[in-house]
Structures are given as structure tokens and as C-alpha cells.
Structure 1
Amino acid sequence: MKLDQLRAFIAVVETGSFRSAADSIHKTQPGISAAVKALEEQYGILLFDRNSYRPTLTAEGHAFFQQSKKLMSQVLQLENLGHDLAQGTAAPLHISLSQMALDDDCMSRIKAFQTHHPEIALDITTDHLHGVQEKLAKNKCEIAIGPRYGLDDRHAFIELNKITMMAVISPTLLVTLNANDAKIKQQSLHTIPQILVSNTAANASENGHQYVLPTGKRWYVNDFQAKKTLLLHGLGWARMPKHCIEAELDNGHLVPIEVENFTSQNQLPIFMIRLRHQTQSVQAKLFWEKMKRFSHLNDGFSSD
């Protein structure tokens, strides 16, 4: 088995035809066919059912494809590491942070890690909802930190802390609702936009939001800062991470609300996440262990 054969096989699966595979990896179509045939003959299996118009994976082919993708992911990581070492530089540690996770706890952990290991470069991106796990799935990061959206047995994860999510509104807009009861009825909010942060996953079939009124106006923004700005200007209501609006709650520019038959406030666990099959770099392993052992008692890492 050769890597070029695996690349050819994966390309056929992902592009849907031998011709498209040849174009995508700059090989001839006969070369692609020969590579796939060599794999089939080596293991005595059929990878594709060729009776249909387009090549369709057999059961054996599907299993072979899953493992091939894992192997090629590891090969890519090794190639990138080799290039970095040849240039005399260590590859940065790529981390995807959920916008929800940017609280004092998470920031203190990361700051403590950088203080203890200034030689490790961190490449941090922020995402929302399923976009965090998508970065892992596409090998664009080694570690993600965020809520439990889309996690399954492919992921290893540990809980770091919990954040408080709460529904809030500006007091000037609340007055217009004429809400006399302790809880606001859902229909009272139907004419007021519920402001949501867009899911950053490129391939999400749904918007990914769990706490949305079934009917009513909705506005989507790119981040929580834009969400807070709209809230402060009385342009809607929303669920927000409490740590993002502490000052606004204290000065009364935003007030909590309880909506009938709706999760207005809850505790949301934040996890550190990685892929089980992915080979972790030395930097990623060190980051994982240090973040897990962080203690607020000494603003650093415990020794156990």
C-alpha cells in the first residue's frame, strides 16, 4: 500500500468519479483507476460497486475509507511538522475557542499556560456553535474549547467550568411590553427580534440554536459584542453569557427577563475537546494536561 494509492482512492470517494479525482489531484484517469485496483488486489476486496453510474463504496470500501482518512490526516500532520522542523521553527498550537467560553476562567488558564510556556506559539480562532467542532473535524485545530454541541464518540472531552446564560433586554424596551406578570408570555415577544449569533460551521444544515422561540422575529449577528450592542440600543432581546454583560447588569442598562415556557437562564458546561484518533503534538498534549490541572488557588497549575 502506497500513500499515492490512498490519495487516489480518497479523491474518488470525495469527488464522486474517477475523472474528477484525476483532476483534483492532478493525475491521469488511468493512473487513478490503477491505484484503486492495486489496493483492491492487495487486500482481496472490492472498494467500489462499479455497476452504478457513479462509483459507490461497498461496505468494505466504506470501512477502508474511514481508516484511510484518519491515516492521511496523520500523514499531513507529520509532513507539516517535518517542514517546520526543517525551518528550525516549531509549529504553533491551533486552538478553536467558542465565543461563549471567553470568560475569566478560560482566559486565566490560557494566560497561565503562556506564562509557563512562552516558547509555544498559540494560534487561536473564535467560533460559535458547531463551528468549533468543525475546526477539529477539518484538522484546522488540535484542541477546541466550548459547549457540548455535536460531540460524540469521535471526541475526547473534559469539563473545564460552567458559564451562566441568561435572557436579557433593555429596560426601555421592557416597558413597552406591559409585562405585569413575573414571567413574560412568549407571544408578547413575537414582534421583538430575538438576537442570535450565527453558527460558524460552513456545512451546518440547521442554524444549531437550541434556545429559540418557535415563532417571532429573529436577527443574526456574527459575535456577542454585536449582539450586546443591539441589546443596549433596545433593538431586541437575547440570551447572553453573564460574564459578557456583568457591567450592564450592574448599571441597569440590561435587565434579566423570565419568559414563559422557555429556558431563560441556565448553567452551560464548557469543555476542552480533541479528536480521539488524531495524533496529538507535544504542544497539544502539554496544553491539555496543564489546562486540566489549572487551579485558581494559585492562579496556575497544580502539581498532581
Structure 2
Amino acid sequence: MNITLQQMQTLDAVVSQGSIQAGARYLNKTHPSVITVLKKLEDALGFALFDRSGYRSVLTEEGKKFHKSVKQILGDMDELKNQVTHLRGGEEGELNIVVGDITPLPGALAVLRRFSREHPYTRLNLFFGNLFGPNERLLDGDADLIIHHVDKSDSRYEYRDFCKVRVVPVVAPGFLDLPISRELRYADLEGYTQCIIRDTSTHSEKLNRFVLDNVPHLTVGDQYTKKEVILQGMGWGHMPLFLVEEEVSCGKLISIAGKYIKGVTREIVIARLSAPEKGIMAERLWQSF
């Protein structure tokens, strides 16, 4: 059985336009030539596509099922043509984005969702990393863009400001056996387990932010697990405020920030390498933020 693209397009035009005559006009073909194409298609299939017993030809049950498959094939071919146009234009087929551990996800994902809808032929590969992990992937050339914090004085980065995140030290009520006040010092926390997050970098110098020496450590892989560990009274630690703001407000967690135990505000940026070579879609994504 040999079914041609012309035959499928002719059948779809006749069905979608409502008649052979209207289908012929749509295809800029003569009425007899369309009839000939349909007759050859029926001969190849071995069954009638149209019931011609009435005033107007209508699809048979077999014809309805076959046309449904034809529409799927023609849709796939249009999709393939669009994909070829996309690739022929030098547009990247995929981009790698790494989101940092203290980046608020809703705002970042809203931009990425909009980009995906506008550019369906570029697949976004989304990764997550902690501490210096996103930076390492960018510097190694394994990411097109990161949403994280960077050293703004480092000339290897080009960046755009995205948001600011307050990071605060918190504990669960009853975790500390001493009064909580603004006078607390890090020395007062000796003997208490500190929950810290694992740096996902593999070959760079590990970051050591707020990590106390000579205290028990409980290491976790992400901020959400860290939050639950602290809520369960298994340790204390620094958390992005947007993740624990509700718990702090209702007293499930207590901030111990004060004169000596400090929080910090991190500037989250959209960052890429400052090298001049930029892909078409990578540049469009950059401009989306």
C-alpha cells in the first residue's frame, strides 16, 4: 500500500472544507483532479472513504477513522517542518539552567514557563544546585545561565539583578536550653547540632558560610529538608526567610539573629559567562528576565 502526502492533504482539505468542490478551491485544484486523487486513495486502501448514496458525500465509519489518523500525521509533519526551520535558523535545541538553593522558585519559574510557551522548540533543562555548585557548572560550560548569587567583582560573570533574599538563623522552640535574646553569641551554640547544606560543587573550593567549627553537624541536600530538620528540633541553621517566614510568624520557628549572630541578605542574579559568544536562544532567554 502506497499512500502519498498529496492524497492525505487532499482528503483533509475536502473534509475540512465540507465538500469536494470547496476542497478543490482551497487546494487550487480542479474538481475532477481532486476526485481522481480520492479514488486512487480508496483503491490503495481497499475501502470506501465516502458514502456517495446521498445528495452529499459523507465519510464512512472507516473514512472517519482514517481521516483522524491523517490529521495526526499532517499535524506531526507541520511540527517537523517548524522544527527544521528552527534548527536551520541556528537556534539551539536545548538550554541548561541551574537554579540556586536560595532562589525563590515561583518568580524564576514564571519567566521560564513564559519562555517555553513562546519558544516550544527549545527544550529547557532545569537543574538545582547548592552554594558554589551552580557557579561551578556555569564556569565549566555546563550551564547557559544560572539564577543564583555570584561574586559581582568577578569579571567572568555577566549578570542581571533578580531579587534579594534575607537569610536568617532559626531554631525550633525548646531546642536551646538557654534564653533566646539578641545577646546570644556563637559560643553559646557550642554543643548544639548545626544543620548545614551540602555544597554541590565537585572540584571547586567548598564554601563555608555560617558553618561553626567544633560543633556537631547534620548535613542535608536541600533547603526544604533543612527546614524540616530544624522544625523537628534536630538542629539549628540559617534559612532563606521566604521559606520560613510563616513558621517564624506563628512561632513554630524562632529567629536567633541579634548583635552577634547575624543574618545576611543575598543578591540573587541571572548570570552567564561574559564571553562574547552567545547562542540565539540563550540570548532570548537572557532578555526574558
- Structure 1 residue 181, shift from structure 2 partner: 3.7
Shift of residue 289, structure 1, vs aligned partner: 0.8
1:187 aligns with 2:187: yes
Determine the structure 1 residue equivalent to 2:62.
Answer: none
**CA deviation map 1:211-262 (0-9, x unaligned):** 2334422222111111111101101111101111233223322111125523
Structure 1 Cα separation of the partners of residues 281 and 153 of structure 2: 23
CA 180–123 in structure 1, closer or farther in 2 if over 3 Å, else same: closer
Q: Indicate the percent of aligned positions where both proteins have the same amino acid.
A: 22
**Structure 1 pair 281–214 and aligned structure 2 pair: CA distance change class (3 A):** same
**Aligned partners of 2:96 and 2:142 also within 8 Å:** yes
Amino acid at match of 2:279: S
1:43-122 matches, within 5 Å, as 85=87, 90-122=92-124
Tell me the secondary structure at the aligned position of residue 101 of structure 1.
coil
Q: CA deviation at 1:137?
A: 1.9
Whichever of the two has the greater Rg, that structure is 2
Match of 1:35 in 2: none
Q: 1:267 to 1:89 in 2, by over 3 A?
A: closer
**Displaced runs of 4+ in structure 1, greater than 4 A?**
none
Counterpart residue number, 1:230: 229
Per the normalisation by structure 2, the TM-score is: 0.63
Judged with a 3 Å threshold, the aligned counterparts in structure 2 of structure 1 residues 124 and 146 are, in CA distance, closer, same or farther, namely same
Counterpart of 1:199, as a letter, is D
- Give the Cα–Cα distance (whole angstroms) in 2 for the partners of residues 129 and 171 of structure 1: 28
Show the counterpart of 2:287.
289
Q: Could you say what the CA RMSD is over the residues aligned between the two structures, in angstroms?
A: 2.6
Cα distance in 2 between the residues matched to 1:149 and 1:191: 33
**Where do residues 1-304 of structure 1 align in structure 2 (5 Å cutoff)?**
85=87, 90-149=92-151, 152-174=154-176, 177-179=177-179, 181-205=181-205, 207-263=206-262, 265-277=263-275, 279-291=277-289
Matches of 2:181 and 2:252, distance apart in 1? 21
TM-score (norm 1): 0.60
- Give the aligned residue type for 1:170: A
Residue segments in structure 1 that go unaligned for 5+ positions in a row: 1-81, 292-304
Deviation at 1:85, TM superposition (A): 4.0
Distance in 2 separating the partners of 1:172 and 1:180: 10
Unpaired runs of at least 5, structure 2:
1-83
Between the aligned partners of 1:252 and 1:144, the Cα distance in structure 2 is 34
Secondary structure of the structure 2 residue equivalent to 1:273:
strand
When residues 140 and 89 of structure 1 are mapped into structure 2, their CA distance, relative to the original with a 3 A threshold, is same
